[in-house]
Every structure is written in structure tokens, then in C-alpha cells.
Structure 1
Amino acid sequence: MPELPEVETVKRTLQQLVIGKTIDSVDIRWPKIIKKPDDIKQFEFLLQGQTIEKIDRRGKFLKFVFTDYVLVSHLRMEGRYGLFQKTDEINKHVHVIFTFTDKTELRYQDVRKFGTMHLFVKGEEEKVMPLSQLGVEPFSSEFTPELLLSSFKHTNRKVKVVLLDQKTVVGLGNIYVDEALFRANIYPETFAKDITKKQAKKLHQEIIHTLQEAVDQGGSSIKSYVNGQGDMGFFQQYLLVYGRENEPCRVCGTPISKTVVGGRGTHYCHRCQK
């Protein structure tokens, strides 16, 4: 599933491709992707004549900001956007097509059909689900070691589970939680309430550094992820633990271990993360 670095990269590439374009029509080929409004014809109607003013990101969600509305899009497992000419062939995995007045098309492709789209009146999108319960952005001034420590002290869950739930800090998924915990020398099954002030400070730093490095590399193309221009990311070449089971730790040489935490496959070094 695309995490913050991948969604941020998609956002940046789409900004270069579709800002200022006006929608002429919308073609929905898989209605279940549209979660709000319930009537897909209304979804299509409301977006006609709307101009894309900017594209934002909130956690793992893309926000298409139109003249009067905001489209909140989650890519889930394999969702992707691409800009095409109207005459280009449409493959069978394209489920939503936004046709612009200049005859280009923004196509949403999703092999597994797990992606979601919510359309809100501008200004209402942060007040209700799916964005209303999200935590702070990791690159914001609101994200502090103190915030992390406070969220850890009031739960009986393991630290990895807390970082994955998006209610304290957003954008972290399985890849970057494993990487940040390794860099902070924290065992992923440590109970969050046992994290010390020193560990929280280190973890805070490594979350930011890991995500920033991944953004700089265009994300991690572990499976099918590409950006809005069809390019792969390169951060997978720099992963320290994720996906490296039985390979030597890049720090100490110990074989990387894999376990399950909170139902998610989890990679760690049992020597570096005691």
C-alpha cells in the first residue's frame, strides 16, 4: 500500500500535469470506488466545469482541490493516476476517467479495485471521515517527541501498532515503521508505554529522516507503485530491514528476522533492536 512518500510523490507529479485543467465530463466504470456521494451521477454532475486549483496530501490521502469541491482519494493497494490523450487506448483496469476540456484525460487505474473517492464541498473534508480522525503530519511543527511519548503512555499496545494506526502521526505504513524502528534501535514488539523519553526523541528523528529520504528517492516501488508519470521510486534500494529476511543486517551482519506484529509482517534485527 502506498505510504506517505509514495503519495507525496504522486501529488508532486500530478501537480505538474493537471493543475489548471477543467473537467468536461467524468466516466465512472466501477461505482464502488465512489464512497461519497452515494449517487454516482451526482458525483459526475458536481465535477463538471470544476477546475483543479491545487493538489494536496493528508497522510496517505490525495486531495484534489477544485473550484468548489475537494476530492479525497485513497490509492489503497494498487491505485494509480495517469494523464492520457483522449485517443489513447483504455486498459481494463481503468475505473474512473476525468476528461478535461483540452481533450486530455486523468485516468484512475486500480487492479484490485480497493481505492476510494470521497467528494466534499470545499472546507468540509476535514470535518468527517475519512480525514477527521487523522493524527499530525510528520513534517509539521505539531509532530514532536513529546507528542509521541504522550500517545505511547496511554496505551497497552505495541509500539509498531500505535505507529500504524494513523491517529498519532500519519503516513506511516508497514515499510517505513519497520525502517524507522530499526534506525531508532527499538524492538517492534516493545510495548509503547515502555518507550523512554530518550527513545521517543530518537524515534521522532528517525521517522522524519526515513520519510524524507524516501520522498527524495520518489518512494519505494516494492510491488506495482509508480508515480503520476509512470516512473518507479528508488528507496527500496536503501531499505535496511524491510523485505530483507535472512539477509545480513547492514549494520552488524546478523540475519534479518521476520515476525508478525498486529497482523503485519515485521522485519527487524534482533541484535540492533534488543
Structure 2
Amino acid sequence: MTHRLLLSIIFITSRLKNQQGKAVTAMPELPEVEAIRRVIEPQIRGLAIEQITVSRPEVVAHPTADEFCRCLTGQVFDSMTRRGKFLVIWLKSGDKIIIHLRMTGCLLVTPAAYPEEKHTHIIFRLNNGNEMRFSDTRRFGRFWLIRKGETDAYSGIKKLSKEPFAPGFTAEHLSVRLGKRKKAIKECLMEQSVIAGIGNIYSDEILFTARIYPARPANSLTGEEWKRLAEVIPERLSFFIQKNEITPEEYLETKGQDYRNTHFLQAYGHEGEPCPVCGKFLCRTVIGGRSSTFCPNCQK
């Protein structure tokens, strides 16, 4: 194994930069979580857990940290899936680990001798000599172990609505769920019980592409606008999944600091810049306590 491959790191962080180099903090959303899954899964699939160290017990939301370690030691990773902003690691036994990174949670796969990142709270020692590590500056990220046959009444993953790529994700689905709501459409798009995986960044991007003002009440949207949203949502998310693809070698080179291809963002974080469509200056407002960037000309 080459030194470069030996030091391959998968490091996910919620820090990104816009075109001016301004640092922006945002929770990983569906495209980022999918990028994490695609890079990590091949590196842990089929490996056994030899030992687990938990330095911050509160990070394990269910069961207790001691039970978490006892039940998982000796188990074998089978696969990893994504549901909304959650990661799910399936074990050969039928048990599963559910993970939510929240704002600053990071997953790393690294050689055992590689220096630990600051605020590393969980370490899985694997039978190939590597480790899967979880670090989190704010300590909001959480792990849940759900045993085979156990009802998940803990993680909240069952409250998620349709995936944007699922059959039945249509204009009718959106209008039925949101068409009578007076809440701003931007806030509605971020409700995980309506659409799984969208947050502050991609709600801006979706509404910009759909030419809908983010503060519009949902009940003011027309049938044509619901149809446009149903088409734009999966298209934009698929686009950013593709643009966020990165190799383990690229993670090593940047330590994952720039895993989002932010220069493809057209609205989010670009307030005061010319609109890429009409040239008018993009504006910023606050909707439901969240920053929102829009074009006053294209999104009237």
C-alpha cells in the first residue's frame, strides 16, 4: 500500500467558502450527506469492529454509551445508506447505526497512527488497521444503535417524508401538503416532514431556479409553480450531488475543508453580487430566522 493511500482521509466538515473566500457555516444537506456515503461506504464495507472508544457519552443518544460499545464490538459493517440528512450504517447482524452530523459533525476513515482531529468523540477500531472516527466541535451530532427487530422511537428518521427522487414526488404531493399553508415557501421546503434533505442552502438554490420569491406564502403558489418546483427540486439536488463528488485522494489533499463545490451555487451566499441570469444585484433577507438570498427581478 502506498503512503498516499495509507493516509487517505475522509473528513467531512460544514465549513465552506463562497467566491469571495468568505467562510460560511451550514449544516450538511442531502448532497453533502450523499457525498459522505459514497466515499465512506467502500472503505468500511465488510470490515469488523474490533474496539470502540467513546470519549463523550452524550454523543450516543441510544442506548447508553457502554451498551453501544458492547453490542457493536465484533460486528461487521454491511452497507451504508442515506435517508434525508441521516446516514445509516447497516451491520451483517441486521442491527443498524443511525447518524446525524448536525452542524459540525465529521466522519473520518484514517490509519490508526494518524493524528486525531480535535474534538474526536468516537473511534471505531477496524480489523484492517484503520479507524473510523467521529469528531464534532459543537457536540450536536448524534448516534443511535437500533437492534434487529427493535422499533426506532429515538432518532426521528421515521418522521421524514418522501425523498425528492422517490416515485410519487410530484406537484400534487407538494400542493396537497403545502398548498393551504400561510408559511413562507422557503420555510416549507426545509420541513423534513414534507421533503427529506433540503436545508438553507438548497432551498435558496431551488427557489432561485424556480423563479419563486422565498417569502411567498405557500398558499399563494399557482399550479404551474408547484409543477416547476417538483421538477426543479430533484434536478438541483442531483446536480449538486454530482458536483460534490470527490475522491479519497482529494480529501487527503484538502483534509475535506472544501468538499462543497460552492462556485456552482447561484444564489446562496452571493448577496450583493450580480444575478447570473439578469445582472441585478442579489439581495439578502431573513425568513423564519434563516438567511435567504434571492434576485428581486427574477424572483418577484
1:219 Cα shift? 6.8
Distance 2:34 2:151 in 1: 19
Of 164, 174, 183, which residue of structure 1 is paired with 2:190? 164
> Which range moves more in the overlay, 64-73 or 231-240?
231-240
**Partner residue in 2 for 1:76:** 102
Q: Which amino acid aligns with 2:233?
A: I
**Partner residue in 2 for 1:186:** 212
Of 35, 41, 57, which residue of structure 2 is paired with 1:31? 57
1:168 Cα shift? 1.1
1:43 matched to 2:43? The reply is: no
Q: State the Cα deviation string for residues 69-113 of structure 1 (Å, max 9, x = none).
A: 111101111211111122222233211000112221101111221
Alignment of 1:136-215 (within 5 A): 136-215=162-241
1:48 Cα shift? 0.8
Other structure's SS at 1:132 match = helix
Q: State the Cα deviation string for residues 106-126 of structure 1 (Å, max 9, x = none).
A: 011112211111110135466
1:262 Cα shift? 1.0
Q: Measured at CA, do residues 92 and 64 of structure 1 come closer, stay the same or move farther in structure 2, by a change above 3 Å? A: same
Q: State the Cα deviation string for residues 150-205 of structure 1 (Å, max 9, x = none).
A: 11123221111111111111110101000000100100011111111100111111
TM-score by length of 2: 0.85
Q: State the Cα deviation string for residues 11-41 of structure 1 (Å, max 9, x = none).
A: 000112111111011100111111001x211
Distance 1:235 1:23 in 2: 33
Q: Cα RMSD over matched residues?
A: 1.9
Q: How many residues align?
A: 267
1:63 matched to 2:88? The reply is: yes
Contact 1:152 / 1:195 at 8 angstroms: preserved in 2?
no
Contact 1:65 / 1:122 at 8 angstroms: preserved in 2?
no
Of 48, 51, 55, which residue of structure 2 is paired with 1:22? 48
Q: Measured at CA, do residues 140 and 234 of structure 1 come closer, stay the same or move farther in structure 2, by a change above 3 Å? A: same
1:132 Cα shift? 1.3
TM-score by length of 1: 0.92
Structure 2 gap ranges (5+): 1-26
Q: Which amino acid aligns with 2:206?
A: A
Contact 2:34 / 2:241 at 8 angstroms: preserved in 1?
yes
Distance 1:125 1:79 in 2: 25
Q: Which amino acid aligns with 1:261?
A: I
Alignment of 1:230-245 (within 5 A): 230-231=255-256, 232-245=258-271
Other structure's SS at 1:99 match = strand
**Partner residue in 2 for 1:131:** 157
Q: Which amino acid aligns with 2:71?
A: L
Structure 1 gap ranges (5+): 221-225
Identity value in percent: 34
1:89 matched to 2:115? The reply is: yes
**Partner residue in 1 for 2:130:** 104
Contact 1:9 / 1:215 at 8 angstroms: preserved in 2?
yes
Q: Measured at CA, do residues 219 and 177 of structure 1 come closer, stay the same or move farther in structure 2, by a change above 3 Å? A: farther
Distance 1:118 1:219 in 2: 27
1:207 Cα shift? 0.9
Other structure's SS at 2:82 match = strand
Q: Measured at CA, do residues 124 and 273 of structure 1 come closer, stay the same or move farther in structure 2, by a change above 3 Å? A: farther
